[in-house]
Structure 1
Amino acid sequence: MSIFYLLSFTHNKFTRSKLRPPLPPGPTPLPFTGNLISMLQNKPTFRWIERMMDEMNTKILCIRLGNVHVISVSDQKIALEFLKDKDKIFSSRPESVSAYVTSGGYLNTALAPMGDQFKKMKKILASEILCMTRHKWLVNKRNEENDNIVRYINNKCVTNDGVTRGLVNVRIVGQQYSSNMVRKLIFGNRYFGKGSADGGPGKEEIEHVDSLSSILCYVYAFCVTDYFPWLQWITDFDGHEKMIRNAISRARKYQDPLVDERIQQWKDGVRRKQDDLLDVFINLDNPRLNVDEIKAQIVDLSLAAYVNVSNNVEWVMAEMMNQPMIFNKAVNELDLVVGKDRLVDESDVPYLNYIKACVKEALRLHPVATFNLPHVTTADSTVAGYFIPKGSHVMLNRIKISQNPEVWDDPRAFNPDRHMNGDKEVVLTDHNLHTFSFGTGQRGCPGMLLGSTMTTMLLARLVQGFTWELPPNEPHVDLKENLHDISKAKPLLALAKPRLPHHIYSTLDYEGKAPTMVQMGVAT
Structure 2
Amino acid sequence: MKNYTSNISSPLLILPWGVTDWAATSLGGTLMSFTYSTTSFLILVSLVFIAQFWSEIHKKSNRQTLLPPGPAPWPIVGSIAELFRKKPIFRWILGLMKEMNIEIACFRFGDVHVIPVTCPEIAREFLKKQDATFMSRPSTMGTEYTSRGFLSIAVAPSGDQWKKMRRVVASEVINPSRLRWLLEKRTEEADNLVRYVHNQCVSGAVVDVRVAVRQYSGNVIRKMMFNKRYFGEGMKDGGPGVEEEEYIDALFTVLSVLYAFCVSDYMPSLRRFDLNGHEKIMKEAIKIVNKYHDPIIDERIREWREGKKKEVEDLLDVLISVKDSNGKPLLSTEEIKAQTADLIYAAVDNPSNAVEWALAEMINQPEMLQKATEEIHRVVGKERLVQEYDIPQLTYVKACAREAFRLHPIAPFNLPHVSNADTTVAGYFIPKGSHVLLSRIGLGRNPKVWDDPLKFKPERHLKDPSVEVELVEPELRFISFSTGRRGCMGAVLGSAMTVMLLARLLQGFTWGVPPGESRIELCESRTDLLLAKPLIAHATPCLPLHAYPTCKNGSWSSN
The alignment's C-alpha RMSD in Å is 1.6
Question: Which residue in 2 is equivalent to 1:430?
Answer: 473
| Corresponding position of 1:134 | 178
Deviation per residue, 1:206-235 (Å, 9 max, x gap): 1101111110111111111111111224x2
Matches within 5 A, 1:294-443: 294-420=336-462, 421-443=464-486
Q: Classify the secondary structure of the residue corresponding to 1:26.
A: coil
User: Structure 2 vs 1, CA of residues 345 and 510 (structure 1 numbering), >3 Å: closer, same or farther?
Assistant: farther
Candidates 177, 181, 184, aligned match of 2:216? 177
User: Are the structure 2 counterparts of residues 265 and 81 from structure 1 closer, same or farther at C-alpha, using a change threshold of 3 Å?
Assistant: same
- 1:173 deviates by 0.6
What's the counterpart of residue 67 of structure 1?
A: 111
Deviation at 1:152, TM superposition (A): 0.6
After TM superposition, give the deviation of residue 377 of structure 1 in Å.
1.1
1:363-399 per-position Cα deviation (integer Å, ceiling 9, x unaligned)? 0000000011111111111111111111111111111
- Is the Cα–Cα contact under 8 Å of residues 189 and 512 in structure 1 kept in the other structure? no
Amino acid at match of 1:92: S
2:201 is aligned with 1:201: no
Counterpart Cα distance in 2 of 1:200 and 1:143: 16
Assess if the C-alpha contact under 8 Å between 1:351 and 1:425 holds in 2.
no
- 1:259 is aligned, of 282, 297, 317, to 297
SS at match of 2:391: helix
Could you give the per-residue CA deviations for residues 100-129 of structure 1, whole angstroms, max 9, x where no partner exists? 011100011111001111111122222211
Distance 1:432 1:510, change over 3 A: farther
Q: 1:436 to 1:426 in 2, by over 3 A?
A: same
In the alignment, what sits opposite 1:77?
A: 121
Q: Does 2:167 correspond to 1:123?
A: yes
Moved more, 31-40 or 15-24: 15-24
> 1:212 and 2:251 equivalent?
yes
Amino acid at match of 2:226: F
Task: Give the match's secondary structure for 1:61.
Answer: coil
Structure 1 residue 467 corresponds to structure 2 residue 510:
yes
In 2, distance between residues paired with 1:264 and 1:500? 46
* 3-state secondary structure, aligned to 2:302: helix
1:456 to 496, 499, 507: 499
Alignment check: 8 A CA contact 1:168 1:494 kept:
yes
Contact persistence 1:186–1:276 (CA under 8 A) = yes
Q: How far apart, in 2, do the equivalents of 1:355 and 1:74 lie? A: 27
Whether 1:42 aligns to 2:86 is yes
Pair 1:478-2:525 in alignment: no
Deviations 1:165-214, CA, capped at 9 Å, x for gaps: 22111100111100011110000011111102321100110110111111
What letter is aligned with 1:216?
L
Larger deviation: 360-369 or 211-220?
Answer: 211-220
Deviation at 1:271, TM superposition (A): 1.3
Q: Distance in 2 between matches of 1:44 and 1:204?
A: 30
Partner SS, residue 376 of structure 2: helix
Distance across 1 between alignment mates of 2:524 and 2:100: 24
The answer for the alignment partner of 1:501 in structure 2 is 544
State whether residues 147 and 509 of structure 1, in contact with CA within 8 Å, keep that contact through their aligned partners in structure 2.
Answer: no
Work out whether residues 212 and 303 of structure 1, in 8 Å CA contact, stay in contact via their aligned partners in 2: yes
Query: Helix, strand or coil for the counterpart of 1:87?
Result: coil
Q: Residue type matched to 2:473 in 1?
A: D
C-alpha distance in structure 1 between counterparts of 2:364 and 2:354, whole Å: 16
Runs of 4+ in 1 over 6 A off after TM superposition: none
The residue type paired with residue 312 of structure 2 is: Q
- Structure 1 distance, partners of 2:498, 2:353, is 10
Q: Could you tell me whether the CA contact under 8 Å between 1:144 and 1:509 is conserved in 2? A: no
**Secondary structure of 2:66 counterpart:** coil
Q: Is the 8 A contact 2:226 2:314 kept in 1?
A: yes
- Rounded to whole Å, the distance in 1 between the matches of 2:52 and 2:252 is 51
| 1:519 matched residue in structure 2 | none
Give the aligned partner of residue 489 of structure 1. Answer: 532
1:92 paired residue number = 136
On the 8 A contact 2:414/2:479 being kept in 1, the answer is no
- For 2:235 and 2:192, the matched residues in 1 are separated by 13
Please give the secondary structure, in 1, of the residue aligned with 2:413. Answer: coil
Normalised TM-score (structure 2): 0.88
Separation of aligned partners in 2, 1:133 and 1:365:
32
Determine if contact 1:23/1:386 at 8 Å carries over to the other structure.
Answer: yes
Q: Which runs of 5+ in 1 are unaligned?
A: 160-164, 514-524
1:474 counterpart letter in structure 2:
E
**Deviation for aligned residue 1:286:** 3.2
Structure of higher CA gyration radius: 2
Aligned counterpart, 1:516? none
User: How many residues are matched?
Assistant: 506
Task: State the identity %.
Answer: 51
* Rounded Cα–Cα distance in structure 2 between residues aligned with 1:206 and 1:91: 35
Higher relative contact order (CA 8 A, sep 6+): 1
> Does residue 25 of the first structure (1) align with residue 69 of the second (2)?
yes
Q: SS of 2:106's equivalent?
A: strand
Contact preservation (8 Å) 2:231, 2:292: yes
- Give the alignment's TM-score, normalised by structure 1: 0.94
Q: What SS does the corresponding residue of 1:24 show, helix, strand or coil?
A: coil
CA contact (8 A) 1:26 1:62 kept: yes
Greater alpha carbon shift after TM alignment, 282-291 vs 55-64: 282-291
Alignment partner, residue 13 of structure 1: 56
Q: Which segment is superposed worse, 2-11 or 177-186? A: 2-11
Given that 2:193 and 2:212 are in contact with CA atoms closer than 8 Å, whether structure 1 keeps it comes out as yes
| CA distance in structure 1 between the aligned counterparts of 2:373 and 2:223, rounded to whole angstroms | 29
